[in-house]
Amino acid sequence: MADIEHPQIYLITPASFELSSFGKELERVLDAVPVACLRLAMASHDEDRIARAADMLREITHRRDIAMVIESHVLLAERLGLDGVHLKEAHGVRAARKTLGEDAIVGLHAGSSRHDGMSGGEAGADYVCFGPVGAAGLGDGDLAERDLFDWWSQMIELPVVAEGALDESLIRTLSPVTDFFGLGEELWSAEDPAARARACLAAMGG
> If DSSP codes are grouped into helix, strand and coil, which group holds residue 86?
strand
Write down the pLDDT at residue 17.
96
Average pLDDT over residues 182-192: 97
pLDDT value at residue 127: 98
Local confidence band at 140 (pLDDT 50, 70, 90 cut-offs): low
pLDDT of residue 44: 92
Contacts of 1 (CB under 8 A, 6+ apart): 157, 158, 159, 179
pLDDT value of position 5 = 62
The predicted structure's pLDDT at residue 206: 72
Polymer length of the chain: 206
For residue 1, what pLDDT band results from cuts at 50, 70 and 90? very low
Is pLDDT of 190 > 50?
yes
Q: Assess whether pLDDT exceeds 50 at residue 138.
A: no
Nearest CA-CA partner of 111 in 119, 122, 100, 123: 119
The domain 8-203 belongs to what CATH superfamily? Aldolase class I (3.20.20.70)
The pLDDT of 172-194, averaged and rounded, is 97
Q: What is the per-residue pLDDT across 31-63, written as a single tens digit (0 to 9) for each?
A: 999 999 999 999 999 999 999 999 999 999 999
pLDDT digits (tens, 9 = 90+) for 70-106: 999 999 999 999 999 999 999 999 999 999 999 999 9
DSSP output for 103-164: TSEEEEE-TT-HHHHHHHHHHT-SEEEE---S--TT--SPP--HHHHHHHHHH--S-EEEES
